[in-house]
Structures are given as C-alpha cells and as structure tokens.
Amino acid sequence: MKDYLVKATAFNKTVRVVAATTQGLCETARTVHDLWPTAAAALGRVLTVSAIMGSMLKDAQTLTIRIEADGPLKGLLTTSNTRGEVRGYVGNPHVMLQYDSGKLNVGQAVGSGFIHVTKDLKVRDTFTSSSPLQTGEIGEDFAYYFTASEQIPSAVGVGVFVETDNTVQHAGGFIVQVMPGCSEETLTLIEERIATLPPVTDLLKEGVTPEGLIAHIAGESYTLLETMPLHYHCDCSREKFERGLISLGVEELTQLLEEDGHVETACHFCGKTYTFDDDALHDLIAAARA
Ligand SMILES: [Zn+2]
C-alpha cells in the first residue's frame, strides 16, 4: 500500500479528521538514518503527525516540528509541506528501549522536554508555538499541543510497528479536531469512540486503511475532502549548502581552505554529501567577500 492521507469532515463540518498510512516513508527514514527500532518508532510517529499537520497548511507554507528533550534519542526534527513531502532526523539513531511487554518504549527514548512547532506562513515572519511533552509517546503530546497552544481540542493517534528484522512493517495515524459549534452530544460520541479505539498499530496490522480509521472515529457518514500521496522527500541542493557556507564568512572559509583544502558536508535529512574542493572554496570566499 502506497503512503497517503485522507482528509474528511463529519457532523456538519464540526469535526475534522485526517488519517494517514505512512509505512513507506517511515521505512525510508529508517534506512536513510540506520534507525534502531525505538528511534524508528519515535521518528515515524512524528513524521506521521508532521505529514498530517503539513496537509492542514496552505499553498507554499511549510512546517517544522522540533522536539527538544532529555532522552537518549537526543531530540528530533521534521519538516513537511502541503505537497505531502516530509523528512526528518533524530539526534541519536541508535536507540532500542522496550517495555517489559516487548513494546517499544518511545516515551523513555524521547524523554522530557518540549515540542516546538514552527509554521512558515510565507507572510513576513515565521510563527513558533511550544508546549511541554506529556509522556514522550508523541500522540498524547501533540493532542496536548493542539489543545493548549492552538486552542483546538484534538485527539492524536499514531503508531509504528517495527518487525524483528528491524524493518518498519506498519505505520500511520490520525488527528481528530473539534471545530466551534460542535454539539455536546457529538463530542461525547467522539470521545467514547476514541477511548475504545484499539491501538493504531493493531488496526493497521488488521489492514485498516486511512478511510477505515476515519470511519472508526467519525462513523460511516463522513464527507471525504481530499486524498493526497505522501513521500519522504528532501529538497537539499548544492546551492543551499553553498549559501550556508558563504554565510560562515571570509575568515572561517579561509581557515577551512588552509587547514583541509576542501569541505565535505552531509545533509542531516537525507545523508547526501556535497564536497567543495579547493577551487569551489575560492569561489565561495569570493562570494562571501562580495
Ligand atoms: Zn537532503
């Protein structure tokens, strides 16, 4: 099954649900970063939230989620946009922590800290809002974020199932948001359904699709708004790294040239390397001087 998300509304547009299947992009993240299972689950869950939140933006707007926390994962960062493109990385990819039950202990891997969500709305400045992590298990943390920072009562369910051979076999999730005007009756019904919903990974293992997830929460009478493919995609380029190097300034670039004769940079998101040799560094120094 290819990765995609589905947006829907229900109950006279007073409830919004976006659900996604993200196994492919989570598995790509795992191979790109050599993630161990708990790191793969943590990043996969945030990539899933990131993909869904990205789809809620408009046009060329972009979203960056940064989790700054004290666990062995050493934080993580993801970016997404309205085209279904997501990417991300963790501070430490080699984290494997389990509960006694054998389930991956994402909460301990992430630790305590904060979620920072930066929206680049392409109008002057960017906007960042933050909220404290609740459990580090990601779903509850983002539900709290939406409710506390964006004042939108929300429920978030995300799950990543990593097989014993360390590959990501299932991944996906949903965000449900209650809009103004939602009746108490609807709210109670949605709360009951979410409280009794099996874990997302169990549903995905049973073959439940994003449409199926929406039906579990909103019932069969939802209105489908949009379906969008999702991808792990990095838009890094040599030009972007050149701009970054130029911003170091003449002095630092000259030092790099004299000490090493070349600079090799690697993209945090996709691992692609860019090498700047002696000639290229001279050009960059000239550009920095200009
Ligand atoms: Zn890249």
Residue 35 has what pLDDT? 98
Taking residues 249-276, what's their average pLDDT? 94
CB 151 within 8 A of CB 144: no
What strands, in cross-sheet order, belong to the sheet with 223-229?
154-162, 168-178, 15-21, 4-10, 223-229
Query: How many angstroms separate the Cα of 52 from the Cα of each of 18, 172, 247, 263?
Result: 7, 10, 33, 37
CB 78 within 8 A of CB 269: no
Last residue of a domain, one of 210, 232, 254: 232
Residue 266 has what pLDDT? 94
Q: Are residues 226 and 272 in the same domain?
A: no
| Mean pLDDT across the chain | 96
Q: How many CA atoms lie within 13 A of 193 on its CB side?
A: 17
Residue 124 has what pLDDT? 79
Q: Are residues 161 and 257 in the same domain?
A: no
Q: Are residues 84 and 215 in the same domain?
A: yes
What separation in Å is there between the alpha carbon of 269 and the centre of ligand 1? Answer: 5
The closest of 192, 191, 215 to 203, measured between CA atoms, is: 215
Q: Are residues 161 and 50 in the same domain?
A: yes
Task: Give the Cα separation of 232 and 47 in Å (integer).
Answer: 9
Task: Give the Cα separation of 21 and 55 in Å (integer).
Answer: 14
**Which domain range does residue 273 map to?**
238-289
- Does residue 108 register a pLDDT over 90? yes
Last residue of a domain, one of 232, 254, 276: 232
Q: Are residues 150 and 273 in the same domain?
A: no
Task: Give the Cα separation of 67 and 46 in Å (integer).
Answer: 9
Q: 205 in helix, strand or coil?
A: helix
Backbone angles phi, psi at 63, to 5 degrees: -130, 135
Residue 250 has what pLDDT? 94
CATH code: domain of residue 114: 3.55.30.10
CATH code: domain of residue 258: 3.90.1280.10
DSSP string, 114-144: EEEEEEE-SSSS-EEEEEE-SSSSSHHHHHH
CB 174 within 8 A of CB 214: yes
Amino acid identity at 106: V
Q: Are residues 172 and 101 in the same domain?
A: yes
Q: Are residues 266 and 161 in the same domain?
A: no
- Does residue 1 register a pLDDT over 80? no
What separation in Å is there between the alpha carbon of 22 and the centre of ligand 1? Answer: 19
Tell me the per-residue pLDDT of 178-220, one tens digit each, with 9 for 90 and over: 999 999 999 999 999 999 999 999 999 999 999 999 999 999 8
What separation in Å is there between the alpha carbon of 240 and the centre of ligand 1? Answer: 10
Task: Give the Cα separation of 104 and 98 in Å (integer).
Answer: 4
Q: Are residues 26 and 124 in the same domain?
A: yes
Taking residues 120-147, what's their average pLDDT? 93
What separation in Å is there between the alpha carbon of 64 and the centre of ligand 1? Answer: 15
What separation in Å is there between the alpha carbon of 117 and the centre of ligand 1? Answer: 21
- Give the count of domains, the chain: 2
Query: How many angstroms separate the Cα of 157 from the Cα of each of 123, 140, 172, 243?
Result: 31, 8, 8, 39
- Does residue 122 register a pLDDT over 90? no
Q: Are residues 166 and 47 in the same domain?
A: yes
Last residue of a domain, one of 232, 252, 268: 232
Q: Are residues 109 and 187 in the same domain?
A: yes
Tell me the per-residue pLDDT of 43-84, one tens digit each, with 9 for 90 and over: 999 999 999 999 999 999 999 999 999 999 999 999 999 999
What separation in Å is there between the alpha carbon of 268 and the centre of ligand 1? Answer: 7
Indicate the DSSP class of residue 83.
Answer: T
Q: Are residues 43 and 137 in the same domain?
A: yes
What separation in Å is there between the alpha carbon of 266 and the centre of ligand 1? Answer: 8
Residue 168 has what pLDDT? 98
Tell me the per-residue pLDDT of 153-169, one tens digit each, with 9 for 90 and over: 999 999 999 999 999 99
- Does residue 125 register a pLDDT over 90? no
Residue 30 has what pLDDT? 98
Indicate the DSSP class of residue 98.
Answer: B
Percent of the chain with pLDDT over 90: 96
What separation in Å is there between the alpha carbon of 270 and the centre of ligand 1? Answer: 4
3-state secondary structure 15-39: EEEEEEECHHHHHHHHHHHCCCHHH
Binned at pLDDT 50, 70 and 90, residue 150 comes out as very high
Q: 260 in helix, strand or coil?
A: helix
Q: Are residues 32 and 174 in the same domain?
A: yes
Structural element, H or E, at residue 159: strand 154-162
Residue 123 has what pLDDT? 83
Instruction: Give me 6's structure tokens.
Output: 């589905």
Q: How many other CB atoms sit within 10 Å of the CB of residue 268? A: 14
- Does residue 31 register a pLDDT over 80? yes
CB 29 within 8 A of CB 43: yes
Tell me the per-residue pLDDT of 76-106, one tens digit each, with 9 for 90 and over: 999 999 999 999 999 999 999 999 999 999 9
